Structure 1
Amino acid sequence: MSNTDVALSSMLTHHARNAPSRAAVIVENVPVTYNELDARSNQRARMLMTHGVEYGDFVTVALPNGVEFYETVFAIWKLGAIPNIVSAKLARPEMEAILEIVRPKLFVGTPPRPNIPAIREGESAAQSYSVESLSEIVSPHWKAMTSGGSTGRPKVIVDAMPARWNPNEGFLGQRPGDVILNPGPLYHNAPFHCVHMGLCIGATIVEMRKFDALRALQLMEAHNVNWVTMVPTMMHRIWHLGPDVLSNFSLPSLRMMVHMAAPCAPWLKQAWIDWLGSERVWEYYGTTEATGSTMISGTDWLSHRGSVGRVREGYEVRILDAEGQECPAGEVGEIYFRPQGGVGSTYHYLGSTARRCGEWEAPGDLGSLDEEGYLYLSDRRNDLIISGGANIYPAEVEAAIEAHPSVRTSAVIGLPDEDWGARVHAIVQPLEGEALSEAELMEFVSGQLARFKLPKSLEFTSESLRDEAGKVRRAALRDARLASPIDE
């Protein structure tokens, strides 16, 4: 550990020593100071010890966003153990599959069956333990995130970085002492990573617990938020509040809104740039595996419309065709990254294997590079629709559909077709209370897309198509419709 790094087991103590009364987390307008969070996580760590948790053990955390989540994660680090974060809402078979892969020493939350060693949500026994600091220790892996991926098969991504950080080194433009809004579920990598990096630099986290568009704006103004990360679904819902509502919010304290985790429709990004200014709207693209990432400011995006930026320092990127040959500028192929430390230097999988081409690793996305090295995403490799010999990217069609003011969200999939090989099928969730006809929507979309990209079939649904992180499992939607064919 370098002289500037601090073990995450001692990070709260570090900030509590410098600013004990500073709020670490604010939930439902109730602040928890660094001093309080440090003391409570010490108590919880001792409670975990009584359940046998030791250095290098996995502890699966299935808790909703809240103070208990933060206490638990720091308690795990205080024992040199590894937090394995999962959604508390997972179906039992998926949860069972993850536990079979991870084999954690302890489960925190509601376990899928009674015989799993567990501490349930709301366990109050921690209050009986000492608040005194524990000996400093550095966990070998600071996080182990779970992912169903596009296939739905669970995998665990064990980060290679030991649990330590420089408390003066902000992540993605964060600054020591910032006020950061967290609108996302902490079981997803982006909010977990960004929020805990914020705590590492002494930020105050305003925790929403559950996203609500208007409340997000109200919290940003009330708490003078400086930095927030969002997914395009959140941006879309805020934008749908309409000009009369948005005109009431200038968000003067907000320095950076960084969107990530899913493709953002160009029209939506342009709308946010027009509202907040290009210097405040940023985009990050990267992998949970930390094999590569890019970043772009709104100002740079205006001159490279549609790009997710150039590769960040410490990484390299290439676009390769099906034969593993490098694609020329402008040609779509599969994206491959290589971290500075080489293959396997940033993570390892439990329950899966990486797709590699020599020293290069594929996150599963298609895209292209321009002459200046700016990366442009097309779609997920497994979601590409080939219809009549033409490549159609669902994200492009979804962006056109979601530009309609009556649409909440959409998912586009390819279904078998005798004539075309595959046809573009759109599943659309209108805004509640909106009367939207297929004819109206198709007329709207036909003005934005080439004819061969237009949906050949369409269905409306009232069910949510994307999760809290704005992601959609198109493979699962396609499988469901293949199992129960839609009448045409």
Structure 2
Amino acid sequence: MIDTIPGLVEAAASEFGDRPFVRVGEVTRTYAQACATAAATAGALAERGCRPGDRVAVMARNRVEFVDLILGCAWLGAVLVPLNTGLRGSGLRQVLRTAEPQFLLVDEELVERVVEAGFQGQLWVAGRGDVPAPGGSAAVPPAQGRPHDTAFVLFTSGTTGAARGVRCPHAQAVWWGRNVSDSLRLTADDVLYTCLPLFHTNALTTLTQAMVVGASCVIDERFSATRYWERVAEAGATTVYLLGAMVPMLLAQPPGPADRAHRVRRALSPATPGSAWQPFRERFGVTLVDGFGSTETNLVIGSTPEEQRPGYVGTVREGFSARVVDELLDPVPDGVPGELLVRSAHQFAFCTGYLGEPDPGPTAWRRTGDRVVREPDGWFRFVDRIKDVIRRRGENISSHEVESAVRAHPAVADAAAFPVPSELAEDEVMVAVVPAPGQVLDLRDLVRHCAEELPPFAVPRYLDTVRELPLTETGKVRKAALRERGVTATTWDRSTSPTPARHQT
């Protein structure tokens, strides 16, 4: 069985040859061309002194040079280290110290930031002649890599501490391709469209998903809610990839002719609120497919376009195991919330640990930090990130469930729930709310709505209307920033303010 990226590239080139594989901007490459480009890019890297095991960082937007380095580094046996383009200052310095890359490709506008962070190796600026490129370099044969050799080092967001570098082996990327392509029911006739950043697992493994079945892949530069459906129509996409706040952002856009003027029929959309599933399908004609995976693991739990349960992540996929445990790591009964632990029977389908830390072993149970419920029939429901659970009056409150209730109000486009300190110890529930365009949001009416959807202890005390939520580069809400800001002069406190203002956008 193929278990390395070069092996997958060669097999796909042999089977799919002249079929289109990837388009980035104005550049389109067939499977045969992508294989030749990987070999030539590896040769260009070798000419610049890069050797198997060396680390090559990339801090750039989605561009063809990025894709070339993904495949070229894997072909050579070098380790690619994609860096979040939002990194700066002490965070960037810490990541560079941890990864110790010998080479770094950077967008021109980010050069100063990288230099100030103290990078000392070879610096290649995208768009200039010094970038390792396939043209003019002799191709080299693929490295004799092993499935557990590190292909990528991907840094976690570090929202609860310093970012950690995850060692992702070749086999993990290949298994991502097999698992997601099977879950989405992809075929060689599909066109995959992603505008998520290539420094994120979701976008990075879109390439291996395509290679497994012979589909083509269109990589766009960035997400635009206002032009999203126009962009996917231009790409001829049949399958798209959504993340974080993208679903409510798209639903919040004014209806228009582009909503259905496309070929998309399915979207991988992890952790989508159950209340958004049907409205999204009815308006855009797209089925949202949920699933659980992480940088450290794989698609362990998932659904398919045919088997859906809105608000649920899915069931355990073949070759994986999952259990729900309490604080002492003892299993809890079905229907009781607890932390999700996962394990793989596939060799090296999970990461081999973090930089500077030992490998937990291929058969070890992995903690996820996610609070879930397993139903008696095997379906899993996401409750919250454990760090985001709100503790109020002796009760654990899921910020995810509070957000789902708030978003169900017709005048709400999006929301983020988080804890703030209480005068009585523990937490109070606060929600940052984005009003829906053209709607008048009455905060007292919103509280009445929440009281009908939530237990009394979970009804928000504090409400803040905001134009937009603070997001990471991958579309996740930066709750740490919301918690740090906390209650402000514009915050409405339902316990002391009898007449809240109405808000309109």
With the length of structure 1 as denominator, give the TM-score of the two structures: 0.85
Q: Which of residues 82, 85, 98 is equivalent to 1:85?
A: 82
Question: Percent identity of the aligned residues?
Answer: 23
Bigger shift: 100-109 or 423-432?
423-432
SS in 2 for 1:143: strand
**Which structure 2 residues correspond to residues 13-412 of structure 1 after superposition, within 5 A?**
15=12, 21-28=18-25, 31-109=28-106, 110=111, 111=114, 112-113=117-118, 115-125=120-130, 126=132, 130-139=136-145, 140-162=149-171, 165=174, 170=181, 172=183, 173-199=185-211, 201-245=213-257, 248-249=260-261, 251=262, 253-260=263-270, 263-275=271-283, 280-290=287-297, 293-297=300-304, 299-302=306-309, 305-340=310-345, 346-350=351-355, 359-412=364-417
- Opposite residue 43 of structure 2, the aligned amino acid is R
Offset, 1:327: 0.8
Structure 1 residues 72 and 341: alpha-carbon distance in aligned structure 2, compared to 1, 3 A threshold? closer
Offset, 1:285: 1.0
Offset, 1:419: 2.3
- Using the alignment, how far apart are the partners of 1:167 and 1:314 within structure 2? 13
Bigger shift: 466-475 or 8-17?
8-17
Q: Which of residues 479, 484, 487 is equivalent to 2:484?
A: 479
SS in 1 for 2:227: helix
With the length of structure 2 as denominator, give the TM-score of the two structures: 0.83
Is the CA contact 2:275–2:408 (under 8 Å) kept in the aligned structure 1? Answer: yes
SS in 2 for 1:31: strand
Unaligned runs of 5+ in 1: none
Partner deviation per Cα, 1:129-160 (whole Å, 9 max, x = no partner): 53543112144223221112440420111123
- Using the alignment, how far apart are the partners of 1:161 and 1:198 within structure 2? 16
Unaligned runs of 5+ in 2: 494-505
Bigger shift: 92-101 or 339-348?
339-348
**Which structure 2 residues correspond to residues 1-16 of structure 1 after superposition, within 5 A?**
2=1, 5=2, 7-9=4-6, 12=9, 15=12
Q: Which of residues 449, 456, 459 is equivalent to 1:454?
A: 459
- Using the alignment, how far apart are the partners of 1:342 and 1:336 within structure 2? 18
Number of residue pairs aligned between Structure 1 and Structure 2: 477
- Using the alignment, how far apart are the partners of 1:435 and 1:182 within structure 2? 34
Is the CA contact 1:147–1:156 (under 8 Å) kept in the aligned structure 2? Answer: yes
- Using the alignment, how far apart are the partners of 2:306 and 2:160 within structure 1? 36
- Using the alignment, how far apart are the partners of 1:11 and 1:124 within structure 2? 30
- Using the alignment, how far apart are the partners of 2:387 and 2:216 within structure 1? 39
Offset, 1:219: 3.5
- Using the alignment, how far apart are the partners of 1:150 and 1:337 within structure 2? 22
- Opposite residue 164 of structure 2, the aligned amino acid is K
- Using the alignment, how far apart are the partners of 1:137 and 1:257 within structure 2? 35
Structure 1 residues 466 and 405: alpha-carbon distance in aligned structure 2, compared to 1, 3 A threshold? farther
Is the CA contact 1:77–1:138 (under 8 Å) kept in the aligned structure 2? Answer: no
SS in 2 for 1:104: coil
Offset, 1:364: 0.1
- Opposite residue 415 of structure 2, the aligned amino acid is S
- Opposite residue 99 of structure 1, the aligned amino acid is L
- Using the alignment, how far apart are the partners of 2:60 and 2:488 within structure 1? 33
SS in 1 for 2:308: helix
- Using the alignment, how far apart are the partners of 1:167 and 1:348 within structure 2? 17
Offset, 1:392: 0.7
Is the CA contact 1:311–1:317 (under 8 Å) kept in the aligned structure 2? Answer: yes
Is the CA contact 1:80–1:137 (under 8 Å) kept in the aligned structure 2? Answer: yes
RMSD value over aligned CA atoms? 3.5
Is the CA contact 1:183–1:211 (under 8 Å) kept in the aligned structure 2? Answer: yes
- Using the alignment, how far apart are the partners of 2:322 and 2:238 within structure 1? 31
- Using the alignment, how far apart are the partners of 2:464 and 2:360 within structure 1? 34
Partner deviation per Cα, 1:373-422 (whole Å, 9 max, x = no partner): 11111101111111011111111112222334554433211111122621
Structure 1 residues 49 and 366: alpha-carbon distance in aligned structure 2, compared to 1, 3 A threshold? same
Bigger shift: 196-205 or 376-385?
196-205
Is the CA contact 1:410–1:465 (under 8 Å) kept in the aligned structure 2? Answer: no
Offset, 1:435: 5.8
- Using the alignment, how far apart are the partners of 1:324 and 1:9 within structure 2? 39
Is the CA contact 1:291–1:338 (under 8 Å) kept in the aligned structure 2? Answer: no
Offset, 1:351: 5.3
